[in-house]
């Protein structure tokens, strides 16, 4: 995006974490940003405003679409949830909620905003997937399945919506230093060890920052990416590229 262009962007789940970083980056780049979230962020900038949104609800998605104006240039489908449970312990309600938020949400928001995204020659959709749509951590069956679905949805949307002038891509973040992840680490008895071991997993030597994801989203949303569509861009410091070795074969052993 160009700061001189008047751009409208919608960011779901933009009240905190990666979504907030994306909303702040797009606003800094000159966009008018609608933050769709169940909670009121309370401290948005002058180019940002909050609209209450439940991404699982067709009525809520339609209500947001009714107030954003005639044209939307960028839709960032970021809202998501995650929980840990074995298959034996998971409930149908938990599974359905993960699918409703993480997978139905991006589809429903794109559908609701389709007329606005087609206006003015087309727009860009960026879905937030995950490296767990490529691999998986233990106890994350619902989360991994939903994020793999987001990646597949992104490809299908790129094919179907490309002729309408709408580009669709996804970003697959790795371990990002969000408040949620920090709180999780702070509860561990071996917090410092866990932080050090997390850094070692990444060839770049550190975990990611929400701004790292936001800058990738900003590129995919921009005219600089006019020929990029149907892609899943992994932002994980090469974590998923690095092949694992047993400790006895490690160069540091």
Return the active site residues: 143, 147
Separation of alpha carbons 204 and 223, rounded Å: 29
Token reading at 235: 């932002």
CA atoms within 13 A on the CB side of 172: 25
The DSSP letter of residue 223 is G
SS3 of 39, please?
A: coil
SS3 of 132, please?
A: helix
Give φ, ψ of 96 to 5 degrees.
-65, -35
Q: Which residue's entry shows tokens 């409930």?
A: 91
CA atoms within 13 A on the CB side of 183: 4
CB of 10 within 8 A of CB of 74? yes
Q: Which residue's entry shows tokens 């609209």?
A: 51
Token reading at 185: 């680490």
Separation of alpha carbons 187 and 245, rounded Å: 29
Q: Which residue's entry shows tokens 């966009």?
A: 31
The DSSP letter of residue 42 is S
């Amino acid at each position: 995006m160009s700061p001189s262009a008047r751009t409208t962007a919608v960011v779901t789940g933009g009240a905190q974490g990666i979504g907030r970083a994306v909303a702040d980056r797009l606003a800094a780049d000159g966009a008018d940003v609608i933050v769709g979230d169940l909670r009121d962020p309370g401290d948005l900038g002058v180019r940002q405003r909050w609209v209450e949104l439940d991404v699982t609800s067709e009525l809520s998605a339609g209500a947001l679409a009714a107030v954003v104006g005639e044209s939307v240039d960028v839709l960032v489908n970021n809202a998501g949830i995650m929980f840990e449970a074995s298959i034996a312990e998971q409930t149908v309600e938990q599974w359905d909620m993960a699918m409703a938020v993480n997978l139905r949400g991006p589809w429903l928001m794109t559908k609701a905003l389709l007329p606005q995204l087609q206006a003015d020659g087309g727009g860009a959709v960026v879905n937030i997937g995950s490296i767990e749509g490529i691999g998986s951590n233990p106890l994350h069956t619902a989360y991994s399945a939903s994020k793999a679905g987001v990646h597949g949805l992104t490809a299908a949307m790129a094919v179907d919506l490309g002729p309408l002038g709408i580009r669709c891509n996804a970003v697959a973040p790795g371990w990002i230093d969000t408040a949620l992840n920090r709180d999780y680490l702070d509860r561990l008895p071996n917090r410092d060890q866990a932080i050090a071991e997390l850094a070692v997993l990444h060839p770049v030597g550190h975990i990611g920052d929400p701004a790292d994801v936001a800058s990738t989203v900003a590129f995919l949303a921009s005219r600089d990416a006019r020929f990029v569509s149907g892609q899943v861009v992994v932002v994980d410091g090469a974590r998923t590229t690095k092949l694992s070795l047993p400790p006895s074969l490690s160069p540091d052993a």
